[in-house]
Amino acid sequence: MLTQTSDWFPSDLNNQLTQPERMTPYPKKLIEVALPLAEINDASAYDKMPGIGPHPKGIHHWWARLPLPVARAVLFASVVDDPESHPEKWPTEEAQNVERERLFGILRKMMAKKLHEAPEVYAEAHAELMHHCDGHLPTVFDPFAGGGSIPLEANRLGFETHAGDLNPVAVVLNKCNLELAPRWAGCSPVNPADRQRIGGAESWLGAHGLAADVRHYGKVIRARAQAQIGHLYPNMPLSKEHGGGDAKIIAWIWARTVVSPNPAAQGKHVPLISTYWLSSKKGALAWLEPVVDKETGNYWFKVRTGLPNDLTAISAGTKMSKGGFRCLLTDAPITFEHIRSEGQRGRLGSTMLAIVAEAPQGRIYVNATPEQVRTAQSATPSGYPDTNLPEEALGFRIQNYGIRKHWEMFTPRQLTAMVTLSDLVKGIGVDVERDGLVAGLSPQEAVSYSRSVMTFLALALSRFADNNNNLCRWRAPNPALINLFARQAIPMVWDFCEGNSLGEAIGSWQVCVEREAACISVLIVGNEAPGFVKQIDAANAVNGIANLLVSTDPPYYDNIGYAALSDFFYVWLRRSIGSLYPELFGTLLVPKQPELIASPERFGGDKQKAKEHFEVGFRKAFAALREKMDSRFPLSVYYAFKQDDEESGGAEETGEAGIDLTTGWETLLDALVSSGFQITATWPVRASQAWRMRAMGSNALASYIVLACRPRCANADMTTRRDCVAVIKRQLPSAVRQLQRENIAPVDLAQAAIGPGMSVFSQYATVLEANGAPMSVRSALLEINRVLDEVMAEQEGDLDADTRFCVAWFEQYGIAERAYGEAEVLFIAKNTSFAGLEKAGVIIGGKGKVRLRRREELDPHWDPRTDDRVTDWKCTQHLVRVMTAEQGGGASEAARLVNAVGPARAENARALAYRLFTAAERKGWAEEALAYNILVTSWPQIQAATVKVEPDGPAQSRLPL
């Protein structure tokens, strides 16, 4: 467990408290004291993984969705009192720990996988929450609801929930979660096929009935689409080589073409192919062989199987290593500039490269045929939305290549399918309504139910659009179609994949409906309280309701352009179900202007104006929220440092001790402080699958920081920088030590320390610099960094002399060799000697040079029991050595060492790992920093293993944590 003992009402300092510190009219909540962060991290990372089965995230795509477990944990911990707040019940620290452990027990259960299958866990959490609120849960409000993780979990925990978002797409999907699915919970399906089934595998609990209807009417739509446009999706006649007969087509692989810049090619179009691989999967290799007729200038592609002679050439396609492509006919380079210029004149074409099909013997790759090309070209779509892409927008690249309309993101056949399916979704309401009446619904219910089914089918159409556009890729290593929004941007795709819309493989309407239905079926856990969803501009109108528990994940400065990205879905939702929600779909495109994003494109390229728009809106939003909050509960705010996509914004400037001062982060803190909040805790949450290892390399920031905030009291003091820093210095060290005692990952320490530090800074109405100007958040963060540095350095006092030398040397030179003279000064300063350090086996010298021994040079058979110069440095390095060993080693080996050196030295080694991590990170030695991080994060396993290996070694007491 991790605690934050920063004292926004410190118990040990009562006499020195400033006025705001003394005023704490409410008990601290768990989130303001401690969280089982490791379990929350693991559960959140799992939740983010693709392919974990039906999940509410599959209802509709949203960019950078918050993982459900962290949303759940934060809500729970914002309501549940920390035992420290009730000394009358738990008078001792020990008793408080026992009670906290009990609360953690509930939280840990809440972190289980597939929690929708464990309604009893939600029920237990709900009961605990009720207990902390005298039987009346507060109303939860999320004004930036987006993909809906926070409201959904609030609703499942039994809170009345209000969700708002500016974006109509987000509003619709939240409506599905909070209004539509719960409205029909426990109802049987109305379609005649399922209605006849009595007591089948599905008992129509939760949203299973609704899911069954979505599945059924989705099939009806497919059959109708087949009748209307089935001719565009013919089967593939197979050659004898492939066993004859017909194969069902899975996908067509296309490449864009551009006129060759080389006059020798006589104006022919040539393909832009990023790889010739169709399948690079072991045992199923398939690739394209280009065949060029130099005389006629014609070319085509043969599908080949087996291992190609020249792997590099196959991987490269017609790409050039230096960037750009090469002309297939003449080898002339094709620059991006040429492609852009042709694209903007509307002169890019496309050519079919190959076909993927399902033959009786399994998946096959076959040559494109003129019939298949002709069929694709015969589609003549009409009636599609004719809307413009933004001229420029965050993450959009395609406009550079002449794609300026949303419909241009589809091939004619894809567009025909979109229009057809959209019409059929629009028309299916009549069938549902009719069947609903037959099934016994009242006329009003039948209309309402048909609208719900249509809405979910429209969401399935969104999924279909994501999988059915000319920016989808074909993935060769594990062959499959990749949807457009596998990334949170719209980059250009040269060779794209067109799935068979009426087929049965990934990307088809059938699969999209099936997935939608599966996700609907896991929406309801049976504990839901009423939910309400509204389109709002959080900066201008929040909500009429007061006494709210606010938990929210606001926009990330300039990280994701939600409004521009979501137009892709909006135009089709509007076309299909716009008439059902006229208040949401009044505009041609998603409203852009009020969106809180620092997007210079919206301000004629003016960065400053964009920043101001974001900052002003943010402050207004939080100031309004402050007025609406139930004073018993802290506001919880998420800040996403880094999103899944590599393209998302990174750090701009790194503070001295590792707190990244991105503009977004600073803006958020600033907005909170200036709108009257005091930050009472900060929790780094890792939602990356590899959080324990790779992702925790030196510069790997947590995915999210969760902040707990309280309204600052109205009569808060003003203070000077000097006094504020003095309080930070007084309070931060114990908070940092506490975090270390509780084994926070070194990589997370700086971010977690912001909580206790900012808690001090933000308790004051104003902190004045010597010149009378207000101290900025940035200065406060830098000050917190500095104090953190000092805390690290102070820990040196506990180390032995040899170690003090090694640490100082490492901090300066790492493991580089330096002149003996430089070392000599340090030997004296640290009260040790070359001979002693050499004997200890931690240093190597010769020819007037000195350096630290590398870990791989340490004695692999080191036995501390026979070593008469054991040092903290050596213990740390050996522990890191065994924990990072590629072979052997591991927690049991580390436990053996720990048992041999004893708990005190082991504890020193762990503490030293924090310091060495910071030093390595500061120098940019990523691998080295990672190694120390691994040691600390593995400590619980080592601790567990010490018990097991005890019989082997000289019994020592159990390793403390």
Q: Which positions lie near ligand SAM, rule CB under 6 A?
A: 62, 64-66, 143-144, 146-147, 149-150, 165-167, 170, 536-539, 553-556, 562, 594-596, 617
Smaller CB separation from ligand SAM, 591 or 733: 591
> Which DSSP symbol is given to 206?
T
Name the nearest CA neighbour of 959 among 594, 948, 946, 619: 946
Quick check: helix, strand or coil at residue 805? helix
For tokens 């399948």, what's the residue? Answer: 279
**Which amino acid, residue 249?**
I
Minimum distance between the CB of residue 139 and ligand SAM, rounded to whole angstroms?
Answer: 18
Smaller CB separation from ligand SAM, 416 or 643: 643
Classify residue 49 by burial, with Cβ atoms within 10 Å: 0-12, 13-18, 19+: exposed
Smaller CB separation from ligand SAM, 648 or 785: 648
Smaller CB separation from ligand SAM, 536 or 580: 536
Query: Phi, psi at residue 260, to the nearest 5°?
Result: -65, 135
Minimum distance between the CB of residue 69 and ligand SAM, rounded to whole angstroms?
Answer: 12
CA distance linking residue 601 with residue 396, whole number of Å: 12
CA distance linking residue 685 with residue 764, whole number of Å: 27
Tokens of 667: 């803006």
For tokens 């996908």, what's the residue? Answer: 251
Minimum distance between the CB of residue 64 and ligand SAM, rounded to whole angstroms?
Answer: 6
Minimum distance between the CB of residue 745 and ligand SAM, rounded to whole angstroms?
Answer: 24
How does strand 246-259 pair with strand 349-359? Answer: antiparallel
Q: Please list, residue by residue across 448-487, b when 16 or more beta carbons sit within 10 angstroms of its beta carbon and e when fewer do.
A: bbbbbbbbbbbbbbbbbbbbbbbbbbbbbeebbbbbbbeb
Are 803 and 871 contacting, i.e. CB atoms less than 8 angstroms apart?
Answer: yes
Neighbours of 735 (CB within 10 A): 24
Minimum distance between the CB of residue 725 and ligand SAM, rounded to whole angstroms?
Answer: 33
CA distance linking residue 727 with residue 712, whole number of Å: 17
Are 287 and 367 contacting, i.e. CB atoms less than 8 angstroms apart?
Answer: no
Minimum distance between the CB of residue 603 and ligand SAM, rounded to whole angstroms?
Answer: 15
Smaller CB separation from ligand SAM, 215 or 613: 613
Minimum distance between the CB of residue 147 and ligand SAM, rounded to whole angstroms?
Answer: 3
Q: What angle do CA 506, 510, 515 make, to 5 degrees?
A: 70
Smaller CB separation from ligand SAM, 10 or 664: 664
CA distance linking residue 146 with residue 167, whole number of Å: 8
CA distance linking residue 146 with residue 587, whole number of Å: 19
Minimum distance between the CB of residue 152 and ligand SAM, rounded to whole angstroms?
Answer: 9
Minimum distance between the CB of residue 391 and ligand SAM, rounded to whole angstroms?
Answer: 20
Smaller CB separation from ligand SAM, 613 or 896: 613
Minimum distance between the CB of residue 563 and ligand SAM, rounded to whole angstroms?
Answer: 7
Angle between helices 721-741 and 746-761 (to 10 degrees): 140
Smaller CB separation from ligand SAM, 328 or 598: 598
Query: For residue 278, what is the enclosing H or E element?
Result: strand 277-279
CA distance linking residue 882 with residue 888, whole number of Å: 8
Smaller CB separation from ligand SAM, 171 or 749: 171
Smaller CB separation from ligand SAM, 259 or 610: 610
Query: Phi, psi at residue 286, to the nearest 5°?
Result: -150, 140
Are 366 and 357 contacting, i.e. CB atoms less than 8 angstroms apart?
Answer: yes
Smaller CB separation from ligand SAM, 553 or 802: 553
CA distance linking residue 650 with residue 641, whole number of Å: 8
How does strand 548-552 pair with strand 139-142? Answer: parallel
Minimum distance between the CB of residue 385 and ligand SAM, rounded to whole angstroms?
Answer: 20
Contacts of 731 (CB under 8 A, 6+ apart): 6, 7, 10, 13, 756, 759, 760
Minimum distance between the CB of residue 913 and ligand SAM, rounded to whole angstroms?
Answer: 34
Smaller CB separation from ligand SAM, 617 or 757: 617
Minimum distance between the CB of residue 144 and ligand SAM, rounded to whole angstroms?
Answer: 4
Tokens of 585: 């779909």
Smaller CB separation from ligand SAM, 450 or 535: 535
Minimum distance between the CB of residue 568 and ligand SAM, rounded to whole angstroms?
Answer: 14
Minimum distance between the CB of residue 146 and ligand SAM, rounded to whole angstroms?
Answer: 3
Smaller CB separation from ligand SAM, 589 or 931: 589
Smaller CB separation from ligand SAM, 65 or 602: 65
Smaller CB separation from ligand SAM, 601 or 921: 601
Minimum distance between the CB of residue 173 and ligand SAM, rounded to whole angstroms?
Answer: 9
Minimum distance between the CB of residue 684 and ligand SAM, rounded to whole angstroms?
Answer: 17
Minimum distance between the CB of residue 599 and ligand SAM, rounded to whole angstroms?
Answer: 11
CA 535 to chain CA mean position, Å: 24
Give 270's Cβ-side CA count (13 Å radius).
32
Smaller CB separation from ligand SAM, 685 or 898: 685
Smaller CB separation from ligand SAM, 168 or 261: 168
Separation in Å, CA 181 to CA 116, 210, 531, 632, 692: 14, 7, 10, 31, 37
Are 38 and 748 contacting, i.e. CB atoms less than 8 angstroms apart?
Answer: no
Classify residue 169 by burial, with Cβ atoms within 10 Å: 0-12, 13-18, 19+: buried
CA distance linking residue 4 with residue 97, whole number of Å: 14
CA distance linking residue 175 with residue 181, whole number of Å: 8
Q: What is the CA radius of gyration of the chain?
A: 31
Are 207 and 520 contacting, i.e. CB atoms less than 8 angstroms apart?
Answer: yes
Classify residue 155 by burial, with Cβ atoms within 10 Å: 0-12, 13-18, 19+: buried
CA distance linking residue 855 with residue 852, whole number of Å: 9
